[in-house]
Amino acid sequence: MPEIGTDRWVAEFESRRVRREGPWGRLIEWSSRRWLWLFAGAAIVYPFVIGGDFGIRVGVNALLLAMLAIGLNVVVGYTGLLDLGYVAYYGLGAYGYAFLASDQFGIHLPTPVVVAVVALVVFGVGLVLGQPARRLVGDYLAILTLFFLQVFVELALNLDRLDLPFVDGPVSITGGPNGIAGVDPMEILGFRFGQVRDYYFLLLVLVILLIVGVTNLARSRTGVGWRAIREDTLAAEHMTIPSGRLKVLAYAFGATVAAVSGTVFAAVQLGVFPQNFTVALLIVVYAALVLGGEGSIPGALVGALIIAMVPELLRTPAGARLLFYGGLLVAGLTLVRPRRRLAVIVPGLLLFGLAVRALVAGIWPGLVAAETAGGVDRWLLRFSASADVVVSVLFVVTIAVALAAVAVRRRRVRDALLILGVYLLVLVWENRLVEEPSITRQLLFGALLVVLMVARPHGLLGRPRVEVV
């Protein structure tokens, strides 16, 4: 009879193992172990490289989003609580800071005291409002917390003309739709935060501390317990894990992280406004987390940096073009397989453009704007302002062609659709999208979310999960 528990695979594991080879492979291995150092180094250099206040402000937004995403990761990625009220706590933190450090009530407490008080109070609020998480599961908790967020926004909007007993006249607590302006800048140990750069480095320290802390937590019995609850709550309870208590703790922990970042946000912005804390922000935070890969801390970080920084490139036409054509190039190189098909597609695209241009200029000269100099304009149609409707129609056609190109399987048809689709895309881009940066940003954001989810549902750095329903 064989010995108990002999196992060939375990015994022979080392000899069967495949490692990443070469300098590139070593670089990947190294950076996946030392990612925090890499991030810290790059982030310290960033303000000096980027110069300018605007670039640093973008960095501040990115770090704030990173804090939010990492906090949310504990609630959603670890514990599996779909908390759609998350940004309400960001708002609570910001308003809390504004209450205790502005002229609103004439209270000007020292910054560390304010932050500590806000963190403690919001943690308490989280413990109370997290109670339903004990009983409600999945989407029902999501819906409930979404209502929490709505209540918060309504309160922020409407607590500005309150009649209180013993006080003359209506009292404004939140400042209503106008919010609270003139919030004090932060001051820690005698150092007064004057520039955006000061807040940038404060946030950088906070983000790194948070990453270290959450990593510690993830290895502790609390962190392992959280993940066990997400995997299988009932089994976790049978393994001595008090699921109710841990769920509430995760919820309150996320709320506290959001609140602390909210205090910094209020100080950077020197004010708080209700429209800062709506569903739109919630979507951005979730997008950052899921894009990076829920359950992964470096994932949440990378997702936040991408979501906060890439759209900024779209602000100027030059940056937008760089992003657009760069994106097309990368998409072409990675998605078209085998690559030699590009040898057909690229010349086809060029010829198609020239042909269309000649044709249209011949038949409807009025549609085409007067020729401008050089570049893309020698190849592409440029519509006159009166042809707005045509561009709108073409935009819809572009979407249809792009979707068809995804769905069709036959190689020839697919290549033809691809040529047509890319041509139309460039056409619409140059004629309309590049001129409407704010709409284009949102459009691209929406499209990006869909494409990324379809291509990589577990996010950039997340691990694919096995789920048993």
Partner 1 sequence: MEFFLQQLVNGLTLGGVYALIALGYSMVYGILKLLNFAHGDVYMVGAFAGYGVLVAFGGPADPRIPVVTLIVLMFLAGMLASGILGVVIERFAYRPLRNAPRIAPLISAVGVSFFLQNAALLVLGARFRSYGTARMVDPATGLQWGPLRISIIRIVVILSAVALMVVLHLLVQRTKLGKAMRATAFDREAAAMMGIDVDRVIVATFLIGSVLAGAAGVMVGLVFSRVYHFMGFVAGLKGFTAAVIGGIGSIPGAMMGGLLIGLAEAFSAGYISSTFQNLIVFGLLIVFLLARPRGLFGVPEPVKV
Partner 2 sequence: MAVLELRGLTKRFGGLLVVDGLDLSVAEGEIVSLIGPNGAGKTTVFNLISGVFTPDGGDILLDGRSIVGLPRHEIARRGVARTFQTLRVFLNMTVAENVIAAEYASGTVGAVRSFLGTPAARAEAERMRAEAERRLAFFGERLVGYRLEQPAYSLSYANRRRLEIARAMATGARLLLLDEPAAGMNPAETQEITRLIGQLRDEAGYTILVIEHDMHVVEGISDRVVALDHGVKIAEGSFDDVATDPAVVEAYLGKGGAATK
Q: Is 469 in the site for partner 2 (CB under 8 A)?
A: no
DSSP H helix total and E strand total for the chain: 20, 6
Q: How far is the CB of 403 from partner 1 (least distance, A)?
A: 6
Helices 53-72 and 86-100: angle between axes, nearest 10 degrees: 120
CA distance 356 to 354: 6
Q: Is 144 in the site for partner 1 (CB under 8 A)?
A: yes
CB 403 within 8 A of CB 425: no
| Of the residues 144, 176, 181, 237, which one makes contact with partner 2 according to CB under 8 A | 237
Q: Which is nearer to partner 2, 243 or 431 (CB)?
A: 243
The listed partner (partner 2, partner 1, none) that binds 10, CB under 5 to 8 Å by sort, is partner 2
Binding to partner 2 (CB under 8 A): which residues in 185-224? 212-214, 216-217, 219-224
Q: Is 234 in the site for partner 2 (CB under 8 A)?
A: yes
| Of the residues 369, 399, 408, 434, which one makes contact with partner 1 according to CB under 8 A | 399
Q: Is 161 in the site for partner 1 (CB under 8 A)?
A: yes
Locate tokens 């149609």: which residue? 381
The listed partner (partner 1, partner 2, none) that binds 406, CB under 5 to 8 Å by sort, is partner 1
Q: Residue 351 has which token pair? A: 């010829």
Q: Is 407 helix (H, G, I), strand (E, B) or coil?
A: helix
Question: Could you check whether the bond before residue 338 is cis, i.e. omega within 30 degrees of 0?
Answer: yes
Q: How far apart are the first and last CA of the chain?
A: 40
The two most distant CA atoms of the chain are separated, in Å, by 92
Q: Residue 39 has which token pair? A: 């991030």
Q: Which is nearer to partner 2, 61 or 243 (CB)?
A: 243
Binding to partner 1 (CB under 8 A): which residues in 269-328? 283, 286-287, 290-291, 294
Q: How far is the CB of 30 from partner 1 (least distance, A)?
A: 29
The listed partner (partner 2, partner 1, none) that binds 240, CB under 5 to 8 Å by sort, is partner 2
Instruction: Tell me, by CB under 8 A, how many residues bind partner 1.
Output: 52
Locate tokens 């989407």: which residue? 139
> How many C-beta neighbours within 10 Å does residue 229 have?
24
Q: How far is the CB of 127 from partner 2 (least distance, A)?
A: 12
CA distance 230 to 73: 12
Provide the mask over 13-52, with x wherever binding to partner 2 is found by CB under 8 A and - wherever it is not.
x---x-----------------------------------
Q: Is 466 in the site for partner 2 (CB under 8 A)?
A: yes
Provide the mask over 48-77, with x wherever binding to partner 1 is found by CB under 8 A and - wherever it is not.
----------------------------x-
CA angle 367, 373, 374 (to 5 degrees): 105
Binding to partner 1 (CB under 8 A): which residues in 82-141? 82, 132, 135-136, 138-140
Handedness of CA 412, 414, 418, 421 (dihedral sign): positive
The listed partner (partner 2, partner 1, none) that binds 449, CB under 5 to 8 Å by sort, is partner 1
Closest CA to 260 of 126, 404, 433, 383: 126
Q: How far is the CB of 462 from partner 2 (least distance, A)?
A: 11
Q: Are strands 187-188 and 191-192 parallel, antiparallel or unpaired?
A: antiparallel
Q: Which is nearer to partner 1, 250 or 433 (CB)?
A: 433
Q: Which is nearer to partner 2, 197 or 227 (CB)?
A: 227
Helices (H), 364-460: 388-407, 411-431, 437-455
Q: How far is the CB of 8 from partner 1 (least distance, A)?
A: 32
Q: How far is the CB of 117 from partner 2 (least distance, A)?
A: 17
Helix (H) / strand (E) element for 108: namely: strand 107-108
- Amino acid (1-letter code) at residue 140: Y
Closest CA to 456 of 316, 329, 349, 302: 302
Q: Give, in order, the Cα–Cα distances in Å from 182 to each of 70, 117, 267, 271.
A: 29, 20, 9, 6
CA angle 357, 332, 463 (to 5 degrees): 150
The residues binding partner 2 (CB under 8 A) are 1-7, 10-11, 13, 17, 212-214, 216-217, 219-225, 227-228, 231-232, 234-244, 249, 253, 463, 465-468
The residues binding partner 1 (CB under 8 A) are 76, 82, 132, 135-136, 138-140, 142-144, 147-148, 150-151, 154-155, 158, 161, 234, 283, 286-287, 290-291, 294, 392, 395-396, 399, 403, 406-407, 432-433, 436, 439, 442-443, 445-450, 453-454, 457-458, 465, 467, 469
